[in-house]
Amino acid sequence: MAEFNRTSRTIGSWLRNKASTELNKVNNPLVRSGLGSIVNAIDPRILGGSQFGDANVFRGEFDQRAAELMAELDQAASPSKAITTGSDNLNVNYDWRARLRPKNGGQERFYSAANQVQGGFEDSLMRPIQESNGLVFMNTPNVFLASSADYASHQGQGMQYPVNTYQSSRTAEITVNSEFTANDIYEARYFLAMKSFLQTSVKGYFGNQALSDGTAGSPPPVLLFEYLGEHGFNKVPVVVVQYSISFPPGVDYVPVELDHGNEGTVTYVPTQSDVSVTLMPQYTPRKLRNNFDVQGIANGKNYTDGFI
Q: What is the mean pLDDT of residues 163-188?
A: 92
Of the three residues 77, 108, 126, the one that is the final residue of a domain is 77
My answer on whether 71 and 40 are in the same domain is yes
Specify the pLDDT at position 53: 46
My answer on whether 48 and 155 are in the same domain is no
Is residue 186 assigned to a domain? Answer: yes
Of the three residues 43, 77, 111, the one that is the final residue of a domain is 77
My answer on whether 71 and 120 are in the same domain is no
Specify the pLDDT at position 296: 87
My answer on whether 191 and 134 are in the same domain is yes
Is residue 89 assigned to a domain? Answer: no
Question: Which tops the pLDDT comparison, 171 or 119?
Answer: 171
My answer on whether 243 and 114 are in the same domain is yes
Over 90: is that where the pLDDT of 277 sits? yes
Question: Which tops the pLDDT comparison, 59 or 153?
Answer: 153
Specify the pLDDT at position 158: 87
**65-79, 115-129, 286-300: least confident range:** 65-79
My answer on whether 72 and 103 are in the same domain is no
Q: What is the mean pLDDT of residues 265-273?
A: 94
10 Å CB burial of residue 114 (0-12, 13-18, 19+) is: middle
Domain count, the chain: 2
Widest Cα–Cα separation across the chain = 98
| Exposure string for 22-43, b = 16+ CB within 10 A, e = fewer | bbeebeeebbeebbeebbeebb
Is residue 128 assigned to a domain? Answer: yes
Is residue 92 assigned to a domain? Answer: no
My answer on whether 26 and 140 are in the same domain is no
> What's the chain's average pLDDT?
77
Specify the pLDDT at position 265: 86
My answer on whether 110 and 73 are in the same domain is no
| Exposure string for 53-76, b = 16+ CB within 10 A, e = fewer | eeeeebbebbeebbeebeebbeeb
In this prediction, what percent of the chain has a pLDDT beyond 90?
35
Closest CA to 237 of 286, 169, 283: 283
The model's confidence at residue 62, banded by pLDDT at 50, 70 and 90, is: low
Is residue 251 assigned to a domain? Answer: yes
Over 80: is that where the pLDDT of 77 sits? no
Specify the pLDDT at position 286: 92
Specify the pLDDT at position 99: 95
Please give the residue range of the domain that contains residue 30. Answer: 2-77
Q: What is the mean pLDDT of residues 93-101?
A: 86
My answer on whether 259 and 133 are in the same domain is yes
My answer on whether 200 and 293 are in the same domain is yes
Counting runs of H as helices and runs of E as strands, what totals does the chain give?
9, 13
Top-confidence range, 95-99, 230-234, 245-249: 245-249
Is residue 209 assigned to a domain? Answer: yes
My answer on whether 205 and 159 are in the same domain is yes
Give 1-42 pLDDT, tens digit per residue: 555 455 555 555 555 565 555 555 555 544 554 455 444 444
My answer on whether 161 and 267 are in the same domain is yes
Specify the pLDDT at position 45: 41
